[in-house]
Amino acid sequence: MFSHLLKLMWNKRRANSLLFLEILLAFIVLFGVLGFCFFNLDRYNSPLGFEYENTWQVELDIPDDLDSTGNHQLQESILREIGSLPDVEDVAFLGPVTPFGGSTWRSGGEHNGQNISAMIMFPDEHYAETAKLNIREGRWFVAEDRIAKTATMVVNKAFLERYGSPGGSLIDTIMVYNGIDRKIIGITSDFKYHSNFARNEPLVFLFDRYLDEAEDPLEYLTVRVTPSAPASLEEDIYKRVALLTKSPDVTINRLANERVQANQPITIPMTIMVIISGFLLINIALGLFGVLFTQINRRRSEIGLRKAMGATGGEVTRQFILETLIVTLGGLLIGTFFAIQVPLLDLLPIDDKFFYWGILGSIVIILTIVMICALIPSRLASRLHPADVLHEG
Amino acid sequence: MTTSQPTISTNQTPAGNAMIELTNVGKAYRTDTIETLALQKMNLTVPSGEFLSIMGPSGCGKSTLLNIMGLIDEPSEGTVSLAGQRIEGYNGNAIARFRNEQLGFIFQSFHLINDLSVVDNVELPLLYRRMSGSERKRLSLEALARVGLSNRATHFPNQLSGGQKQRVAIARAIVGKPNIILADEPTGNLDSHMGDEIMDILLKLNEELGTTIVMVTHDERMAKKTHRLVRLSDGERVS
Ligand SMILES: Nc1ncnc2c1ncn2[C@@H]1O[C@H](COP(=O)(O)OP(=O)(O)O)[C@@H](O)[C@H]1O
Ligand SMILES: [Mg+2]
């Protein structure tokens, strides 16, 4: 029966070409969309590694005329004052690079002849606690690290995986980074800060911002509040910070909102793509419905004939489903041929698995839709009575 | 062999046995407003091996009668027996199987599938049997040879004349070696020369294979060549 239908479909290739092209187009579009989604969902799956709920970020302005001791004293009093407010759980300072802030600092170094490149963040000793970082090995900074003989740094898991020896630890390793020798004192779990869709890449926390007078002071305050913190708390924080810094330049943002915004460059196109391909699929489904209904109408006498020749209702249903399947598989086969060139020829610098998932996902989705759409008209065809359709004047 | 249930391989049932038996068959078509009595109190026995022709004015119920014999229409009343088997339950797969094995149809308008080659059209009934592709092909070519169309096997229906199309339809009707062939005005769309050709093929089938044939015709000349003629008028037998 299959080869018979293959012949029939081949002989009707002109009539079937539209459906074939529609399937091919849907496959290509779906492949792209699914590849994009799988790639980004995979990134989304790797955790940020810090707390953003009930966490506020306060941007403040430290007066330019303070020396580093003055800076330090002012920051200590801000931490004390804000930390003592009711409903504030933890407070920490952070450097110019902030979660979801959009900026990146990168620096390089060298270790055992290997070049090292990593992003940098500048936190204080309270940040791990405030942002609930997970330290998987070693420890976070303490105040004494500021005056330690060897500068210290904390790295994230991606750093360890990239630059550590397999299975080995990097704790207490001393390497040149950002110009000086530094000892690694701690390693965090996954940590990335640009957005949920950011790549998980090596990152270094540096603690020496206070020491260098040429550098700007840390001007972001991370405040973790209780879930029940009232809206008026924002006002209190604003007033106190403005008073202490003698500057009204104070901006308070909620990290949870910042996160949503930082994700938007991916979530918005992804949503649009999913909606468009959803409509495309609905279109395909309706087109298929229409094509099958008209086909079955036009082929009433063929159906009657086949039944008169001994085809059972089930065999007629199977025929129409198989016919649709043949055209669909044709489209999917050609589509896969094109799609598979992307990973085979390394056309994009993206892990091959996402393309294979995209191909697989597109095939499954299109086949499912086609099968559902083919079933109803095919069942209808199987119920035609041969005497009715073969009736001749 | 005395069994009254013929198998596919031996279509020579003992002469004299009733191949088709209609008892008090009636058929009414109901639409929203009217009821048409297409057939009433029809009693008809066709012995195995007979070539029977049916005549009557248009609309008198000839096609209805043939469809009921061919199990593609269900009588409103009465009983139908084919090859010694009383037919009951018209919607099951068993009826489809029975049609496939016992019956061959020939229609006035050929009903060939235009997107299939001649040989693929002929093998149609065999698709609904368990059989290898090569066996199907062999039997189809054999049937085509019988109607003298071996050299047209790979052509498509729209490349054939009306008479050739009807010969393809005959090949399709006989490829499964059925016991009964039902032909509804097989020469109705053909000129008299082609009609004679078709008639000769049917007569030969009846003679050589012993196939029981019931043929509806408007042509007295054709009817005279068959064993027996039944006349219908207004859904009733008049002779
Ligand atoms: N499917 C049907 N629905 C309603 N009436 C029908 C149907 N088929 C046949 N008839 C009616 O039954 C009568 C007999 O039809 P038919 O058997 O086709 O006649 P014939 O073949 O002798 O010309 C006609 O009056 C026809 O209109
Ligand atoms: Mg008729």
Q: Are residues A34 and A73 in the same domain?
A: no
Residue with tokens 């090596």: A202
Q: Is the pLDDT of residue B90 over 80?
A: no
Q: What is the pLDDT of residue A209?
A: 62
Does residue A285 share a domain with residue A155? no
Give the distance (Å) from ligand 2 centre to CA of residue B87. 23
pLDDT at A215: 63
pLDDT of B120-139, one tens digit each? Answer: 999 999 999 999 999 999 99
Query: What domains appear along chain B, each with residue ranges and CATH number?
Result: 8-237 (3.40.50.300)
Q: How far is the CA of B75 from the centre of ligand 2 (A)?
A: 16
Residue B193 CB burial class (10 angstroms; 0-12, 13-18, ≥19): exposed
pLDDT of residue B14: 44
The tokens for A194 are: 């640009």
Looking at the fold, whether A299 and A387 belong to one and the same domain comes out as yes
Amino acid B16: pLDDT? 56
Residue B60: per-residue pLDDT: 92
The domain total for chain A is 2
Per-residue pLDDT of A213-234, as tens digits, reads 456 778 899 999 999 999 899 9
Report helix, strand or coil for A34: helix
The reported pLDDT for the residue numbered A357 is: 94
Task: Number of helices (H) and strands (E) in chain A: give both, helices first.
Answer: 12, 11
Q: What is the pLDDT of residue A363?
A: 96
The whole-number pLDDT of residue A211 equals 47
CA of B72 to the centre of ligand 1 (A): 14
| Amino acid B13: pLDDT | 43
Q: Among A27-31, B87-91, B231-235, which is the least confidently predicted range?
A: B87-91
Mean pLDDT of chain B: 88
pLDDT at B106 over 50: yes
Residue A74 shares a structural domain with residue A213: yes
Ligand nearest to the Cα of B232, by number: 1
Token pair 């040879």 is at which residue?
B145
Q: What is the pLDDT of residue A388?
A: 77
Residue-wise pLDDT tens digits, B158-169: 999 999 999 999
CA distance linking residue B152 with residue B92, whole number of Å: 36
Report d(CA A176, CA B199) in Å as an integer. 103
DSSP assignment of A216-284: PPP-EEEEEE-TT--THHHHHHHHHHHHHHT-S--EEEEHHHHHHHHHHHHHHHHHHHHHHHHHHHHHH
Shared-domain flag, residues A129 and A40: no
Q: Ligand 1 pocket test: which of B42, B64, B233 has the largest number of ligand atoms within 8 Å of its C-beta? A: B64
Q: Which residue range is the domain that position A120 belongs to?
A: 61-249
Q: Is residue A391 within 6 Å of ligand 1 at its C-beta?
A: yes
Give chain A's residues under pLDDT 50: 210-211, 213, 393
Q: What is the ipTM of this complex?
A: 0.88
Q: Which pLDDT value is given to residue A392? A: 52
User: Quick one: A66 and A197 in the same domain?
Assistant: yes
User: Could you give the percent of chain A with pLDDT greater than 90?
Assistant: 61
- Domain end position, chosen among A203, A218, A249: A249
β-strand partners of A109 = A116, A177
pLDDT at position A300, please?
Answer: 87
Residue A54, domain member (yes or no): no
- Nearest residue (by CA) to ligand 1, atom 13, is B38
Within-domain flag for A257: no
Q: Is residue A258 part of a domain?
A: no
Out of A222, A249, A276, a domain closes at A249
Contact B115 A12 (CB under 8 A): yes
Q: What is the pTM of this model?
A: 0.79
**Residue count (chain A):** 393
Residues A194 and A338 in one domain: no
Can you give the pLDDT at residue B2? 39
Number of alpha carbons in the 13 Å side-chain half-sphere of residue B150: 7
Query: Per-residue pLDDT for B145 more than 70?
Result: yes
Q: Answer with the one of A220, A249, A278 that is the final residue of a domain.
A: A249
CA atoms within 13 A on the CB side of A290: 8
| Percent of chain A that is helix, strand, coil (3-state, to 5) | 55, 15, 30
B237 pLDDT band, cuts 50/70/90, is confident
Structure tokens that stand for A231 in this block: 């809206």
